[in-house]
Amino acid sequence: MQTNFLSCAVKTCKSSPAAFPLHFRDATLASTNVPYNPLLLTNLLPRLDWPALVTSSKELGFTLPDSKPSFPQLSRGDDGAVNVGTLKEEEETALRTLHRVLMETEVVEGKMVCGSCGFEYGIHQSVGNFLLPSHLGVYLHVVVFSRGLGMGDANHGSV
Amino acid sequence: MWRVGGCFAVMALIDDAELMICFLFGWAAHWKPASKALRFNGREMESDDGEWTAAERSAVGDTVATDKAQEREEVEWVCSGFDGLFGGCGRKRLCMGAGEDEGLSRSGDDSGTNAIGRDSRAHSDMANERGRMCVIEAGSRSTSRTMDTDPEAERGLDAGLYEEHYVHRVYDRIASHFSATRYKPWPIVNEFLSGLSPGSIGVDLGCGNGKYLNVNPDIYIVGSDRQESNQCQNLAEIAREKSVTQDTIASDILHPPHRPHAFDFALSIAVIHHLSSAVRRREAISSVLGLLKPAGEARALLYVWALEQKTSRRGWDENSPQDVLVPWVLSKQFTEPMEDQTGDTVNGVEPIFRYYHLYKNGELEDDIKSAGGKVLDSGYEKDNWWAIFERAS
């Protein structure tokens, strides 16, 4: 799910629509057991960029509906209990499917590639590495020159 | 790798050749921890690798001669943090400051036998700069190192490299033990996170071991911390292991990969005081602001170490220097670092130094304002200044 909130770290890519979402490549997936939390999910959903999520999920082999499903936004009552009873059965099923994709599926190893500059961010042990090659702005030279030389998709991103 | 090399090599011919070559080789070179000072009161202390070449000795000799005028008792540090970075260029010991512009960078097009000779010359040239740059106030209560001159002017464009050595690599080394000492959430952070509405999405920039990622199970946080890819144990991974329900990434606060203006909240606890210039600290705050939704919809919380901590073990007060190197002492006993921020020797083991800018009363608020933020609340808690703020527009 975090791909829905990440784009390219290169400043010049921030304004480029192609920089979001980043594209998965060579992804190894794992499923982790995460407690199902309908309160979080139903309130999170309105904040998601659905088309980007569909794209990302597809790259990982999941098919989501083209349009964002709508659920009642759950809340916690004064007694602390969540009003899960307001969910219809099919909503509950759909929400659990989303939970599996969004919360329980993780990319353990792989890459995330920027559609704008071609930069590849490595994912190792489930942690994406978004550190640019140096703090000196060297990355800009890398990107600019490598593109200029027709090496836009060169494997220079993993550091 | 070869493509990386090729890419850098081509660029090296075009622009910033020296830095890139040095960076490339430095990346491959094995990084060594902060080495010891060369001299104390003019007496040579020890080498970081236990051996000195003739050329290096001569360089040190030159330095001693240059600095004899200094009357104060002080330790002069040769800032060996660049050993690893420039090791591949044949350089052994270099200092930041003046050397970066001339002496150091020339090494990019050279290697082998000439390198040491060049080193010596660069070394001597830099002696004066170095003397001003990093000194320790011997005899003072704290052995935190302080800097005589304006640290910003000294570090200049090298701030990133400076932080690489005095912040990031330190945390890479001390991650496991640091994590073990950081388990209790700060009350104000707790309150901030607990007060967020369900489904809120936020960032924790500098999440450390991830202790704040699980405070409120009804929100979603992308935790991030710096991480070196060649380290198997580091803070981002520790955070990841501790918080399966949240995600962690490795990123730099000055180059956040997060979607701009997409977050309901942001946290950055004990991070920006590690940035070594006012410009960079403000840039970091502006970076945080850039992730937030518009005013009224999102807020951020920052924590920084305070200069005013008279009652703490450090004993600093408003007249103390603001830019300091604070030791974290390695313990032989545990093979893990042991924290002792007073700098008191623990088992006689060499401390590792972290850079801090200690914030004065009101300084955090000023920085936030100049970065384009509006302070909503702020205060002092246990040796730290904190502020909650939002975008001004």
- 75-94 of A, contacting B, C-beta below 8 A: 75-76
Is A16 within 8 Å of chain B by CB?
no
Count of residues in chain B: 393
Residue pair A119/A16 in contact by the 8 Å Cβ criterion: no
- Give dist(CA B167, CA B182) in Å, integer: 17
Mark whether B124 and B252 lie in a shared domain: no
Mark whether B125 and B181 lie in a shared domain: no
Q: Which residue has the higher pLDDT, B223 or B373?
A: B373
Q: What is the mean pLDDT of residues B68-90?
A: 28
Query: Given this model, what pLDDT does residue B257 score?
Result: 93
Tell me whether residue B98 is in a domain. yes
- Give dist(CA A132, CA A139) in Å, integer: 6
Please say if the pLDDT value at position B370 is more than 90: yes
Mark whether B187 and B105 lie in a shared domain: no
- Give dist(CA B116, CA B59) in Å, integer: 10
- Give dist(CA A97, CA A126) in Å, integer: 21
Mark whether B296 and B204 lie in a shared domain: yes
Tell me whether residue A158 is in a domain. no
Is B256 within 8 Å of chain A by CB?
yes
Encode pLDDT of B42-73 as tens digits: 333 333 333 333 443 333 333 332 233 332 22
CB contact under 8 A, A156 and B7: yes
Query: Given this model, what pLDDT does residue A59 score?
Result: 95
Mark whether B305 and B367 lie in a shared domain: yes
Contacts of residue A122 in chain B, CB cutoff 8 Å? 229
State the nearest Cα–Cα gap between A8 and chain B, in angstroms. Answer: 5
Report the chain A residue with the minimal C-alpha distance to residue B165: A135
Q: What is the largest CA-CA distance in chain B?
A: 66
Name the nearest CA neighbour of B5 among A159, A137, A25: A159
Query: Given this model, what pLDDT does residue B224 score?
Result: 87
Q: Which residues contact A142 (CB under 8 A, 6 or more apart)?
A: A133, A156, B7, B8, B11
3-state secondary structure of B391: strand
* Residue % of chain B over a pLDDT of 70: 42
Q: Which of A10, A32, A42 sits opposite B244 (nearest CB)?
A: A32
Tell me whether residue A104 is in a domain. yes
Encode pLDDT of B307-335 as tens digits: 888 777 777 777 888 888 877 765 544 44
Q: Which residues contact A150 (CB under 8 A, 6 or more apart)?
A: none
Count of residues in chain A: 159
The CA-CA-CA angle for residues B218, B221, B225, to 5°, reads 150
Tell me whether residue B331 is in a domain. yes
b/e per residue, B115-139, with b = 16+ CB within 10 A? bbebbbebbbbbbebbbbbbbbbee
Is B245 within 8 Å of chain A by CB?
yes
Tell me whether residue A83 is in a domain. yes
* Residue % of chain B over a pLDDT of 90: 23
Show the domain range for B202: 171-391
- Give dist(CA B13, CA B210) in Å, integer: 43
Per-residue pLDDT band for B210 (boundaries 50, 70, 90) equals confident
Q: In sequence order, what E strands does chain B have? A: 39-40, 43-44, 74-76, 135-137, 145-146, 201-205, 220-225, 247-250, 265-269, 299-305, 323-330, 337-338, 351-357, 373-381, 384-391
Encode pLDDT of B150-180 as tens digits: 555 555 556 667 677 667 766 666 666 666 5
Tell me whether residue A41 is in a domain. yes
- Give dist(CA B389, CA B300) in Å, integer: 5
Contacts of residue B160 in chain A, CB cutoff 8 Å? 134-136
State the nearest Cα–Cα gap between B208 and chain A, in angstroms. Answer: 13
Contacts of residue B197 in chain A, CB cutoff 8 Å? 43
State the nearest Cα–Cα gap between B246 and chain A, in angstroms. Answer: 8
Q: Which of A131, A141, A154 sits opposite B252 (nearest CB)?
A: A131
Per-residue pLDDT band for B241 (boundaries 50, 70, 90) equals low
Number of structural domains found in chain B:
2
Report the chain B residue with the minimal C-alpha distance to residue A130: B251
> How many cross-chain Cβ pairs, A to B, lie less than 8 Å apart?
157
Please say if the pLDDT value at position B294 is more than 80: yes
Query: Given this model, what pLDDT does residue A158 score?
Result: 35
Q: Which of B14, B160, B250 sits opposite A128 (nearest CB)?
A: B250
- Give dist(CA B135, CA B137) in Å, integer: 7
CB contact under 8 A, B4 and A1: no
Query: Given this model, what pLDDT does residue A30 score?
Result: 92
Q: Which residue has the higher pLDDT, A127 or B294?
A: B294
Report the chain B residue with the minimal C-alpha distance to residue A21: B259
Query: Given this model, what pLDDT does residue B162 score?
Result: 67
Is B16 within 8 Å of chain A by CB?
yes
| 3-state SS record for A22-67 | CEEEEEEEEECCCCCCHHHHHHHHHHCCHHHHHHHHHHCCCCCCCC
Is A130 within 8 Å of chain B by CB?
yes
Tell me whether residue A156 is in a domain. no
Most confident of A58-67, B72-81, B216-225: A58-67
Mark whether B212 and B338 lie in a shared domain: yes
Tell me whether residue B138 is in a domain. no
Q: Which of A40, A136, A154 sits opposite B198 (nearest CB)?
A: A40
So what's the ipTM on this one? 0.83
Contacts of residue B201 in chain A, CB cutoff 8 Å? 5, 44, 47
On average, the pLDDT of chain B sits at 61
Show the domain range for A127: 2-148
Cross-strand partners of A120: A113
**End-to-end CA, chain B:** 45
Is A74 within 8 Å of chain B by CB?
yes
Residue pair B268/B253 in contact by the 8 Å Cβ criterion: yes
Please give the DSSP secondary-structure letter assigned to residue A3. G
Local mean pLDDT, 10-residue blocks, chain A (159 residues): 90 90 95 90 94 95 92 90 89 93 91 94 89 56 38 37
CA distances to B1, B4, B5, B22 from B10, rounded to whole Å, are 14, 10, 9, 14
Encode pLDDT of B4-53 as tens digits: 433 333 333 333 343 343 344 434 333 333 333 333 223 333 333 333 33
Query: Given this model, what pLDDT does residue A85 score?
Result: 87
Query: Given this model, what pLDDT does residue B350 score?
Result: 63
CB contact under 8 A, B237 and A9: no
Is B163 within 8 Å of chain A by CB?
yes
Number of structural domains found in chain A:
1
Tell me whether residue B100 is in a domain. yes
Query: Given this model, what pLDDT does residue B276 score?
Result: 82
CB contact under 8 A, B222 and A142: no
Tell me whether residue B139 is in a domain. no
Q: Which of A42, A46, A125 sits opposite B237 (nearest CB)?
A: A125
State the nearest Cα–Cα gap between A102 and chain B, in angstroms. Answer: 10
CA distances to A64, B335, B336 from A103, rounded to whole Å, are 14, 37, 34
- Give dist(CA B145, CA B151) in Å, integer: 12
| Region of poorest pLDDT, from A75-84, B204-213, B279-288 | B204-213
CATH number at residue B258: 3.40.50.150
Per-residue pLDDT band for B207 (boundaries 50, 70, 90) equals confident
CATH number at residue A23: 2.20.25.10
Q: In sequence order, what E strands does B116-250 have? A: 135-137, 145-146, 201-205, 220-225, 247-250
CB contact under 8 A, A135 and B262: no
Mark whether B62 and B127 lie in a shared domain: yes
CB contact under 8 A, A74 and B23: no
The DSSP H or E segment spanning B15 is: none
CB contact under 8 A, B218 and A37: yes
Residue pair B286/B372 in contact by the 8 Å Cβ criterion: yes
Quickly count: other Cβ atoms within 10 Å of residue B90's Cβ.
18
